Amino acid sequence: MFDQAFTIHGLRFGCNLSCVYGLLPNRKKSTYQQLFKELKSIAALENKLFLPERVVSDSEIGLISALAAECINRRIQSLDLSTTYAEDDEIRSCCRKLMALCLLPLQEVESQFYNL
């Protein structure tokens, strides 16, 4: 029924607190992205931001890929490039390729980065 038990912990007053428990149907990037989208929505309802400063994970490629994409999206926004990203196919393609670098075998990352 569930393929992945997912937890998020936070530090408060020097204590490790379990904040979120998730039972996920698979370990795909899209599933993690949907989870983070839901967490952001819940945080917004509480007038909070879901912006973790640090993420510690095992080597779940779907999670790593989702987090890498989120980091690049935040950077696009912080550089006020959201409109350019939305309107320019070449820029959007380049950014998406950046997001996908984490899916490549380690020995290919550098050469593919320079091919962008």
Secondary structure of 11-72 in the HEC alphabet? EECCEEEEEEEEEECCCCHHHHHHHHHHHHHHHHHCCCCCCCCCCCCCCCHHHHHHHHHHHH
Q: Please answer whether residues 102 and 80 qualify as being in contact, where contact means their C-beta atoms are separated by less than 8 angstroms.
A: no
Full-model pTM: 0.50
Return the residue matching tokens 């890929």.
Answer: 65
Consecutive 10-residue averages of pLDDT for the chain (116 residues) = 78 80 84 86 90 67 68 79 86 80 80 86
pLDDT of residue 41: 92
Q: DSSP code of 79? A: T
pLDDT of residue 77: 80
pLDDT of residue 64: 65
Phi, psi (deg, nearest 5) at residue 21: -120, 135
d(Cα 94, Cα 111) in Å, to the nearest integer? 15
pLDDT of residue 47: 93
